[in-house]
Structure 1
Amino acid sequence: MKFEYRSDKLILNNEYIKDSLRIIYVDSLPGCRPVNNTSLTGANKMTDRLWNIALENIESNIIKTEDGEYFGAGQNFGLRIYTRDISYSGILGVNSLYPRKILNSLKVTRNLRLGLGLRVSEGHMIHGLSGNWVQDSLSEKEFLKKYRTNCYTRRTDDVVWLWAAMDLFEKHPELADWQWIYENGKNCFDKLYDPFFDPADGLYRGQASFIDIHFLERKASGYPQDFSVEECVMIKSTSTNCLYYKGLLSMASAAKKLNKPEEASEWLQKAKKLKQAIVSNLRFEDSTFAYFKHTNGELEQRRDAFGAALAVVTGIVEGDDALKAIAGYPVSWAGVPLFYPFYPGKASYHNNTAWPFVDTFFLWAKEIAEGKDYTSFNAALLARTCVKDGSFHEVVNWSTKNPMGSGSQLWSASAFVNVCRRADLFK
């Protein structure tokens, strides 16, 4: 009966989750009753309990406003609109269970993001790039409060929505609006994405996906500490370029659906060229992927779990190259370290942490590359984050191995849906 896992420091069975820090008994977890009544087959009591928690966590993030209905990111994030959280959650499994709500959410993000364009808060103008940049006198905090989202400079992995939308339409053809995805995709490339493309090496600039860039008043933990705000988005990261690859493939598919063969061919050729550019420019000699490429052309001498995972899951590399992409990356009872090695110092959030949804993408990639089943281990890693109120939490502190951050985290709960889907526990 799924899921059961046992190692020296991590145990998941029908009765409890146990790690080196605590034991969580099944009966101590909340008995949730989500609105969605999709049930599992072949699951034990603990797995069923976690499933219902995951669905209720997801549903708790549904936000209704006058501007539309959308998924929020977690308990600590309120009314903010996060394209990446919505999109990754859709890809992980929410597309299967809440298709109309994901579509509504994606439409809210497109209306807001295209309406703002390259309007940014004070200090977030990128002078080295073309585009219709407009700098407001608002601070980023004021910008976020006014628009319920960050300015584009802090969201340069925005292209992820195209992958999520394409996955949604493929799973639910009755909802497919190819004209909507194609028109919005073209507008996004014209207004937001094309200014970040560098024809010199065929890669897109922009932050590493979901890794916060530096703030004006302080440094974030996920980039070199001597970087400026602008330098954080002038890099070329493996993760975000993989998202562009999927975005270009999505545009090609949408054009084909709309009977635009010439345009479909153009998008497909762009995707193929980007795939080759990623392989040629972002890999070390051992065929593992660098976290990112610096503006001077040098590779950052560390790897990141998300970039490696996305290179495999998106099909940038296959076969032996997929095995090499994830080879030697550490995996432990507390998860997968986001960076390998971590940056120096004790600062954390992205540095010195593991993220349960990234763990899930990485183990998904390992299954693709190695042909092995990691679902029970993956389920145990997610289950151990159900601390405090018994909901799926945001992040794991690598120093203490303790889950922390926001509860009812959308993409952490969605990650459990992904594990159940990979284990064929629901249709």
Structure 2
Amino acid sequence: MKFLKSTFTILLFTISKMSMAQDNKVLYHSDAYTIYGNRVVQGKYMAKAVSATELESNYESPAGSKKSTVKTASSWKLSKDISAFPQYHSAFLLPDALYNLAIEEMCNAVESDSTFRTGKEWSGVWTRDISYSIILSMAVLQPKVAMYSLMRKVKNNRVIQDTGTGGAYPVSSDRMIWAVAAWEVYKVTGDHNWLTKVYEIVKNSVADDVKNVYDTKTGLVRGESSFLDWREQTYPKWMQPADIYESECLGTNAVHYQVNMVLAEMATALTDQTASEKYKKQAEKIKSSIKQYLWQADKKYYGQYLYGRNHKTLSPRSEALGEALMIVFNVADASTQKTILQNTPVNQFGIPCIYPQIPEIPPYHNNAVWPFVQSFWAMAAAKAGDESSLVQSISAIYRPAAMFLTNKENFVSSNGDFAGTQINSSNMLWSLSG
């Protein structure tokens, strides 16, 4: 009996030591912060996973003062039954807890009518928000809600451009990311009726785009940068809506390339081979034009957009979502994908939406990291086999979620804080989706 007790004690001690070793294992380290198996340490601040269902954080925004602090919460504990969704277990408490936090916030992000809610602060269904979220994970996790939400953004059998400069469409033309999301839902569900329905919607929408935003001279697609729709945040102040319409942007062209590729696949699945070949040719034209007009051989990544009234010139800034989509959508070849990952500017808190920043413009898209963009950058790194970029990206997603105890929409690129951007929200759909 004494032998059994001694053996049991030794076993418990061994398990405890192993657990401590995993908790203290450094998963990522930079000058700004360190990720351990069970915690994130950023200077005097620490966020810790007490268990797979509980987190604590002492983070306070530097935007606060001696009289008042700015913070989201000091603790989080799982309060919903998430057993209906895929479960995640690893050797480390931190990623386990952050996954469970994201799943709980995903449940919060479904309205009573079974459509997605954009964020804690913002109700309603938004075309690009739901579409990028569905591509990241919601097609797999909530396909029915994804379907309902996508169909909410259809009118006259066409996709709605619900936000953007100058009254949205055609100044903004990235609504077509809807098509990529709809295809993701089909790949998960195999629902033939869904495919038939969305094929007609996407065909009609692309036909409108060919007339309104396809530039026959350059072969590119006109319209504002995808999701970067706060004019002065990413465009020169002199540019009016008409000028922004005439710009030809990296991310938006990546979207339109992929839309045509998806449409070709839809046509093939529906045995419309003539249409499939037509859309493949349109995609290839956009692809070759992106390489011709937007690639920067000296910087080894793509430029932000072509712009100008009389003669178009290329903005040399990097544009994070566009760079990522060049890789995720296979616009760039394998060797170019690695080159983009190795040369696109990334700072200590993540990949900024644009780089370099625009002086005297407050953080929002300018001088900001958006976690959903970081997630696409992580996908790009994984696809291209760049382990270093992948680990850095995952860490740049873990840190804010753990410190803030919620999935914020954005944070300041230069200091990693959530309170310094123009507007923000907790429980953001596309952030938690990544």
Could you tell me how far 1:87 is from its partner in structure 2? 0.9
**Quick one: which of 400, 413, 420 aligns to 1:398?**
413
Provide the rounded CA distance (Å) in 2 between the counterparts of 1:39 and 1:327.
Answer: 33
Which residue identity lines up with residue 284 of structure 1 in the other structure? Q
Which residue identity lines up with residue 28 of structure 2 in the other structure? Y
C-alpha distance after superposition, 1:266-316 (max 9, x if no partner): 111111111111111111233420000114221012111111111111101
Q: Residues 10-25 of structure 1 correspond to what in structure 2 (within 5 A)?
A: 10-20=33-43, 22-25=45-48
CA contact (8 A) 2:233 2:366 kept: yes
Match of 1:180 in 2: 197
Provide the rounded CA distance (Å) in 2 between the counterparts of 1:293 and 1:402.
Answer: 32
Match of 1:250 in 2: 262
Provide the rounded CA distance (Å) in 2 between the counterparts of 1:113 and 1:334.
Answer: 42
Provide the rounded CA distance (Å) in 1 between the counterparts of 2:405 and 2:357.
Answer: 29
Match of 1:409 in 2: 428
Could you tell me how far 1:115 is from its partner in structure 2? 8.1
Which residue identity lines up with residue 325 of structure 1 in the other structure? I
**Quick one: which of 272, 275, 285 aligns to 1:260?**
272
Say which SS state the counterpart of residue 239 (structure 2) adopts: coil
Q: Which moved more, 1:13-22 or 1:226-235?
A: 13-22
Q: Residues 187-202 of structure 1 correspond to what in structure 2 (within 5 A)?
A: 187-192=204-209, 194-202=211-219
Match of 1:300 in 2: 315
Q: Residues 26-425 of structure 1 correspond to what in structure 2 (within 5 A)?
A: 26-27=49-50, 28=56, 29-32=75-78, 33-35=80-82, 36-65=84-113, 69-79=114-124, 81-111=125-155, 114=158, 124=166, 151-153=168-170, 155-174=172-191, 177-192=194-209, 194-214=211-231, 220-286=232-298, 287-295=300-308, 296-372=311-387, 374-386=389-401, 390-404=405-419, 405-415=424-434
C-alpha distance after superposition, 1:364-389 (max 9, x if no partner): 22333344265543332222223686
Say which SS state the counterpart of residue 401 (structure 1) adopts: coil
Which residue identity lines up with residue 114 of structure 1 in the other structure? R
Match of 1:422 in 2: none
Q: 1:3/1:212 Cα in 2 relative to 1: closer, same or farther (>3 Å)?
A: farther
Provide the rounded CA distance (Å) in 2 between the counterparts of 1:265 and 1:44.
Answer: 48
Which residue identity lines up with residue 345 of structure 2 in the other structure? P
Provide the rounded CA distance (Å) in 2 between the counterparts of 1:397 and 1:116.
Answer: 30
C-alpha distance after superposition, 1:142-172 (max 9, x if no partner): xxxxxxxxx4356421010111111221232
Structure ID, larger Rg: 2
TM-score, reference length from structure 1: 0.81
Number of residue-to-residue matches in the alignment: 379
CA contact (8 A) 1:14 1:44 kept: yes
Q: 1:208/1:105 Cα in 2 relative to 1: closer, same or farther (>3 Å)?
A: same
C-alpha distance after superposition, 1:39-78 (max 9, x if no partner): 014342222211111011122111234xxx3212211212
Say which SS state the counterpart of residue 315 (structure 1) adopts: coil
Could you tell me how far 1:3 is from its partner in structure 2? 9.3
TM-score, reference length from structure 2: 0.80
Provide the rounded CA distance (Å) in 1 between the counterparts of 2:161 and 2:225.
Answer: 20
Which residue identity lines up with residue 184 of structure 2 in the other structure? D
Instruction: Give % identity.
Output: 23
Say which SS state the counterpart of residue 377 (structure 1) adopts: helix
C-alpha distance after superposition, 1:219-253 (max 9, x if no partner): x3121111112212221001110000110011111
Could you tell me how far 1:117 is from its partner in structure 2? 7.7
Say which SS state the counterpart of residue 411 (structure 2) adopts: strand
Provide the rounded CA distance (Å) in 2 between the counterparts of 1:115 and 1:315.
Answer: 24
Say which SS state the counterpart of residue 210 (structure 1) adopts: coil
Provide the rounded CA distance (Å) in 2 between the counterparts of 1:332 and 1:117.
Answer: 32
Match of 2:69 in 1: none
Could you tell me how far 1:34 is from its partner in structure 2? 4.8
Which residue identity lines up with residue 52 of structure 1 in the other structure? N
Q: CA RMSD, aligned part only?
A: 2.6
Unpaired segments of 5 or more residues in structure 2? 1-21, 51-55, 57-74
CA contact (8 A) 2:139 2:188 kept: yes
Provide the rounded CA distance (Å) in 1 between the counterparts of 2:182 and 2:405.
Answer: 31
Could you tell me how far 1:192 is from its partner in structure 2? 4.8
CA contact (8 A) 2:39 2:47 kept: yes
Q: Which moved more, 1:401-410 or 1:250-259?
A: 401-410
Say which SS state the counterpart of residue 203 (structure 1) adopts: coil
Q: Which moved more, 1:389-398 or 1:178-187?
A: 389-398
CA contact (8 A) 2:171 2:244 kept: no
C-alpha distance after superposition, 1:114-141 (max 9, x if no partner): 38689x99x93xxxxxxxxxxxxxxx7x
Say which SS state the counterpart of residue 198 (structure 1) adopts: coil
Which residue identity lines up with residue 387 of structure 2 in the other structure? K
Say which SS state the counterpart of residue 30 (structure 1) adopts: strand
C-alpha distance after superposition, 1:193-227 (max 9, x if no partner): 6401111111100111100143xxxxx31211111
Which residue identity lines up with residue 262 of structure 2 in the other structure? S
Which residue identity lines up with residue 427 of structure 2 in the other structure? S
Provide the rounded CA distance (Å) in 1 between the counterparts of 2:330 and 2:224.
Answer: 21
